[in-house]
Structure 1
Amino acid sequence: MSSRVLLLSVRPKYAEKIFEGLKEVELRRIRPRIQEGDLVIVYASSPKKALIGAFEVHKVVQKPLEDLWDEVSEKAAISYSEFCLYYRGLSVGCGIFFEKTYNFPRPVNLEILRQEWNNFRPPQSYRYLKPREVDIVESITQFDINKFSRTYQTTLNLVY
């Protein structure tokens, strides 16, 4: 069973759509090593620059672009022209489908992140969090990852 927690940078307009329920899949040029049940912490990139929420991964697909578009066109909150522009130069793309989202009551901006989390640097795309970093996220967001993610809780029980 996986225990990955991914910190994912998302453009603010798309991040907002995730937590408004308008977007059901996050598109990526490179497939992260995550699977069903893994947790994703969303960092809204510039100009917002804040942790804004989390979601649990339902499934991850990697497909030729034509097939990917067929699967995500009604779920990605993006136009076909934006899709083509995003994947320009590639023949394969990735979609991270999610089912359970949690919007933090208050975004945690970059200044606070840097005060509470030594050496915090927002990822260019994504990065995997270490257990102590997960603890920091829980503390500064007041988000109980163990209650939100059954998979993460089960993994912790297996590790300890």
Structure 2
Amino acid sequence: MKAVLLSIKPEFAHKIFEGSKKFEFRKQVFKDASVKKVIVYSSSPEQKVIGEFEIETILSDTPDNIWIQTSFNSGITQEFYNEYFEGRDKAYAIKVASTKMYRRQKTLADFNIQSAPQSFAYVEV
């Protein structure tokens, strides 16, 4: 099964698994609509693959409309959101369905990846 490995800042990655962040926001999103799972790489300073989540849906709209739809479960401030999407016409929000935090964290090498992806990387799971 194909999945996507996303680099996510540690504070946001952990909010996903705590349940306070139900959306992962992106400026660009992967094109393969068959992908239903995200592998979470917690970026620096952690630099570990800490878990995965199932994708419920991916929203695509203007940044203002995406914020209206997701702010209640965004896990981030509106100020941070606005800075992230400043100058953009389109925003994406990946809705988290179910999560699974790994008991033992993994490395990128476990997924045959040499370095952290700037945006995302397809992986087989």
The two structures have a TM-score, normalised by structure 1, of 0.72
Instruction: Kindly name which structure, 1 or 2, has the bigger radius of gyration based on alpha carbons.
Output: 1
Q: What amino acid is the match of 1:100? A: S
* Residue of structure 2 equivalent to 1:9: 7
What secondary structure is seen at the aligned counterpart in 2 of 1:85?
helix
What secondary structure is seen at the aligned counterpart in 2 of 1:74?
helix
* Residue of structure 2 equivalent to 1:123: 117
Q: What amino acid is the match of 1:61? A: L
For 1:98 and 1:126, the matched residues in 2 are separated by 16
* Residue of structure 2 equivalent to 1:67: 65
For 1:6 and 1:118, the matched residues in 2 are separated by 13
**Gaps in structure 1 of 5+ consecutive residues:** 135-160
Which structure shows the bigger proportion of residues in helix conformation?
1
For 2:65 and 2:96, the matched residues in 1 are separated by 19
**Gaps in structure 2 of 5+ consecutive residues:** none
Q: Is the contact made by 1:39 and 1:56 (CA closer than 8 Å) also made in structure 2?
A: yes
* Residue of structure 2 equivalent to 1:150: none
Cα deviation, residue 76, structure 1: 1.1
Q: Relative to structure 1, is the Cα distance of residues 11 and 40 closer, same or farther in structure 2, using a 3 angstrom cutoff?
A: same
For 1:81 and 1:49, the matched residues in 2 are separated by 26
Q: Is the contact made by 1:36 and 1:60 (CA closer than 8 Å) also made in structure 2?
A: no
Q: Percent identity?
A: 31
Which structure shows the bigger proportion of residues in strand conformation?
2
What secondary structure is seen at the aligned counterpart in 1 of 2:14?
helix
**Where in structure 1 do 4 or more consecutive aligned residues deviate above 3 Å?**
34-37, 116-119
Provide the aligned length of Structure 1 versus Structure 2.
Answer: 125
Match of 1:78 among 76, 79, 88: 76
Superimposed CA distance per residue, residues 101-131 of structure 1 (whole angstroms, 9 cap, x where no aligned partner)? 00001222x4xx44x56552211111111x3
